[in-house]
Chains A and B, each alone.
Chain A
Amino acid sequence: MALTRRTVTTAIGLFLLAAIPPVSAALGQPFYVDLFTRIMIFAIAALSLDLILGYGGLVSFGHAAYLGIGAYSVGILNFYGINDGFIQFGVAIGVSALAAFLIGAISLRTSGVYFIMITLAFGQMIYFLGVSVNTYGGDDGLNIRTHSDFAKLLDLDDPGTLYFLVLAVLTLFLLLGYRIVESRFGMVIRGAKSNERRMAAIGFPTFRYKLAAFVISGAMCGVAGALLANLTLFVSPSIMHWTRSGEIMIMVILGGMGSLFGPVVGAVAYLVLEHTLSGVTAHWQVILGPILILVVLFAKRGIIGLVAGAQAEAGRG
């Protein structure tokens, strides 16, 4: 990884995130630790979507489903008294990867707008599954009694520990993301985005490559869900609602897709904006909506495009 503007931006960003707990403690505002834990969790979700959206051109409009699957994995295991974090996160990864495999295997047969719609439909399907299974709370949601227990290694009851766990996962996924998009595998995905027919013609089974990317993305988002369950100690179907998928997508676009740190910036911008506006007026959505429209119409490359320059465009075909 060369010392480019992009890596410098990423490093500065991560450093600023690491500075949040001590600063908010010094200011006597521990609330910001919770806010930024939440922001980073959504940053992970947005990052996972960006892998297939920004690099693969796959507009998955049901990504909140994996967030929900991850969160429910923790919730349901906790419901049966299994609190071991390794098991919980393992199950979260496994089940969301499996779901992504099944959904991807069907959805990737279609393309364009049909792909958007079918991923949306699968997302809603899993949402309604959550709503109607009353054993796990149905519409009302499920309370989680304790945090994931990592064999006494980590004490997630402490907000600071949870914060740094989330930051560590985010950093790990950023590194993993760089490795993936720069690898041969990533090149095939990006090639398939630019011209799928040509990639197929030179002999790459693009369907299998795209499916693999879809599964990786789903599993990463599942981890975000498991972390979210640990933050809120509560899980309800509303985290899988299609508007949530839309929000995750907005974070990616707002920050700048096809640049791994872009979604992180987008998540910070979106949730800080939401937090600030909701402090000003209860009707903050009436301001946020037009802002989104303006961003789409006038700032195509997202925030990272302004900060990190043209390199951030590398992933766009």
Chain B
Amino acid sequence: MQPLLVLEQALNGLQIGVMLFLMAAGLTLVFGIMNLINLAHGSLYMIGAYLCAWVFQTTGSFLLGIAAALLGALIVGIAIELVVFRALYRRDHLDQLLATFGLILFFNEMVRILWGSTALYAAVPGFLAGQVEILPGAPYPAYRLAIIIVGLLVAMLLYLLVTRTRVGMLIRAGASNRVMVGALGINIQLLYTLVFGLGASLAALSGLMAGPIFTVESGMGDGVLILAFVVIVIGGIGSIRGAFVASVLVGVVDTLGRAFLRPLLATVLSPVTADNAGPALASMLIYILMATVLFFRPQGLFPPRGR
């Protein structure tokens, strides 16, 4: 096992990690503040990927694609917040699960109606094609490196927003005690819409970056959604810091597991057993990680205070 290969896979893991973080950040904020489980968060990821790929394809401008994706997801996000979620905040989690499950069915099918059931081709933008030499003799795709940089940058901005600004203070206050924030005269309804729109745009950003790496197809957000749930549960629901740590952890563990578990097992087991057990264990690894974390810390790694 060459060290360069490990480095490359670790970077891939980090790249998956930051993309997961963009998803998980919105999810954990929405849950932490509004106490709402939103299964349709994956749909916003999908909408972001579709809008960006489609606009990029038709206009030839990737930046225009980014703008369309962020704006489109923001509008869709605010629309479903106003139409569906307003009625759901006071309901129990079960009702929220079902209503947002209905939204998933709707959006997955809507995408098929608008863009057909075959996958949409998403190209890597020209200025990010090619490779970058991160270490002498170790080339790495520029696009993936860009994802890591954008992801870390957004994570930092989000951290500053939450810890250093007035809006961030309200968000944190809302996560600790919603009722009290409302009682102090803050327009909590507006804060909800704002946070939801922010989460929707972050999901779209994650989706549009995922487009050229994975396939842009109906239902592409569902798998990521489950991973994002795993992340926020490991990190502690409502905690941005927890979401970041857990995203990177999940991304790296998953990627390294898929890359190295089989060869590692082959050194102790017979090749046939390793061929069967390796991939099985690798795909289950993050769920085992989650179960282990919850077994020892039922509230996740960074449980929010005051609740």
**Which residues of A line the B interface, CB within 8 A?**
53, 59, 61, 106, 109-110, 112-114, 116-118, 120-122, 124-125, 128-129, 131-135, 242-243, 246, 249-250, 253, 283-286, 288-293, 295-297, 300
Contacts and interface: CB of A to CB of B under 8 A. Distances in A.
Interface of B: 31, 37, 39, 84, 87-88, 91, 93-95, 97-99, 101-110, 112-113, 222, 226, 229-230, 233, 237, 275-276, 279-280, 282-284, 287-288, 290-291, 294-295, 298-300
A290 B226 contact: no
A129 B281 CA distance: 8
A246 B97 contact: yes
A250 B106 CA distance: 15
Nearest to A297: B87
B302 to A, nearest CB: 14
Most chain B beta carbons < 10 A, residue from A125, A135, A290: A125
A289 B105 contact: yes
B106 to A, nearest CB: 3
Nearest to B229: A117
A120 B226 CA distance: 8
Contacts of A129: 280, 283-284
Given A114-B298, A116-B37, A131 B99 contact: no
Given A283-B113, A285-B108, A134 B276 contact: yes
Contacts of A284: 109
Majority-rule SS of B interface residues:
helix
Contacts of B106: 285-286, 289-290
A297 B99 contact: yes
A233 to B, nearest CB: 24
A296 B280 contact: no
Nearest to B291: A106
B112 A132 contact: no
20 contacts: A53-B94, A106-B291, A109-B295, A113-B237, A114-B294, A116-B97, A118-B290, A120-B226, A121-B290, A128-B284, A132-B282, A135-B276, A243-B104, A246-B101, A249-B98, A286-B105, A288-B105, A289-B103, A291-B102, A293-B99
A290 B103 CA distance: 7
A61 B98 CA distance: 11
B99 A292 contact: yes
A283 B105 CA distance: 10
Contacts of B279: 132
A142 B115 CA distance: 32
Contact of B288 (A59, A61, A125, A243): A125
Contact of B233 (A118, A133, A292): A118
Contact of B291 (A118, A289, A290, A300): A118
Given A283-B112, A296-B98, A124 B93 contact: no
